[in-house]
Amino acid sequence: MLHTGGFPNARMPEAEGSQAAFRRARFATWSPEWPAGTRFEYHSDSAHWVLADLIERVTSQDFRDAIAQQVCAPLGIDRSLGIALSNQQDICELVPMSAEAQIDNLLRFNNPQVRVAGNPGAGGIMTAANLALFYQGVLHNPSGLWNAEVLNDARTNIRCTFEDPLMGVPVNRTLGLVVAGNDGLHELRYAIFGRGCSPAAFGHAGAHAQVAWADPATGISFAFLTNAAEADMMQAGIRSNRLASIAAELEL
């Protein structure tokens, strides 16, 4: 999950990815674009399918069910991947803010069958409150849900500092999270940290300036979600940063 694998543009149609045999056949068609471990580029629609396959091999469960049963349920939050057709009535559809071509791919998540398939890279569906609650779980590890050593590694051990080709700053990635860091560049990292976040804050952004992070210094977790599909990512990021900065100044 360091996004250094070298296959950032590999694609996995949800209909194939949700079925192990088709998923693994698709893996066999992928080829590297550059040597693994030599640079960072976000693998938006590829790396997470590999992770889903690993989850199934380790747990012997469908990856969507494993996440629902082993992560969501213990934290008291709703199922986030693989939403049945009968449970989609309250989902807000993504709304395009322009006719720009780069948002067309995102709008496929309005397709009910795509939601059923549960893309592990961008198809998670939840409220901002539930996402903030998830980060409280990562912050406090209630009832020892996760191995404490593994969780601490995920929150603190920066394994990738290659430059982000979009923002031009070290990515500061652990296995799955982004750490704010103490170099003063945290607001530019792929988590959209607030200005006042401590160096130990950790989180991850989502498509079109979704925000989620937690800060051990304050105990605050913050999430901002929107169903607006915007082509101007920089403008959306500025807005999200302003909201994150307000949250970072709060005290419990």
Summarised one tens digit per residue, pLDDT across range 89-121 is: 999 999 988 776 567 788 899 999 999 999 999
pLDDT of residue 229: 86
The whole-number average pLDDT for the span 58-69 is: 97
With respect to residue 5, please indicate whether it lies within any of the assigned structural domains.
no
User: Which among 100-104, 198-202, 235-239 has the top mean pLDDT?
Assistant: 198-202
- Mark whether 97 and 172 lie in a shared domain: no
pLDDT at 252 over 70: no
155: CATH: 3.40.710.10
Answer yes or no: do 159 and 80 share one domain. no
Residue 73 lies in a domain: yes
Backbone φ and ψ for 38, nearest 5 degrees, come out as: -105, -10
Residue 198 and residue 86 in one domain: no
d(CA 213, CA 243) in angstroms, rounded, equals: 12
Q: Would 35 be classed as within a structural domain?
A: yes
- Domain boundary (87, 117, 147) is at 117
Q: Tell me, yes or no, whether 60 and 150 share the same domain.
A: no
Of the three residues 117, 139, 159, the one that is the final residue of a domain is 117
Residues 139, 99, single domain; the answer is no
Name residue 210's beta-bridge partners. Answer: 206
Count of the separate structural domains present in the chain: 2
Work out the average pLDDT over 187-193.
92
Q: Say if residue 75 is in the same domain as residue 158.
A: no
pLDDT at 24: 96
Q: Which residues pair with 213 in a beta bridge?
A: 203, 222
Looking at residue 164, what DSSP letter applies?
A: P
Mean pLDDT over 11-31 rounds to 94
Kindly state whether residues 105 and 171 are assigned to the same domain.
no
Report yes or no on 75 lying in a domain. yes
Residues 6+ apart with CB under 8 A from 17: 23, 26, 49, 52, 117, 119, 120
Same domain, 137 and 243: yes
Q: What is the pLDDT of residue 231?
A: 77
pLDDT given at position 147:
96
Per-residue pLDDT, averaged over 178-205, amounts to 95
In a domain, 122, yes or no: no
Tell whether 32 and 101 lie within a shared domain: yes
- Per-residue pLDDT, averaged over 8-14, amounts to 93
pLDDT surpassing 60 at residue 247: yes
- Residue 2 to residues 37, 38, 119, 164, 219, Cα–Cα distance (Å): 9, 11, 18, 12, 26
Q: What pLDDT, on a 0 to 100 scale, did the predictor assign at position 85?
A: 97
Q: Which of 95, 117, 139 is the last residue of a domain?
A: 117
Report, as an integer, the average pLDDT of 120-137. Answer: 95
pLDDT of residue 55: 97
Q: Which domain holds residue 64?
A: 14-117
Alpha helices by DSSP H, listed for the chain, are 14-17, 20-27, 47-59, 63-67, 73-75, 112-117, 128-140, 148-156, 233-248
**This prediction's pTM:** 0.94
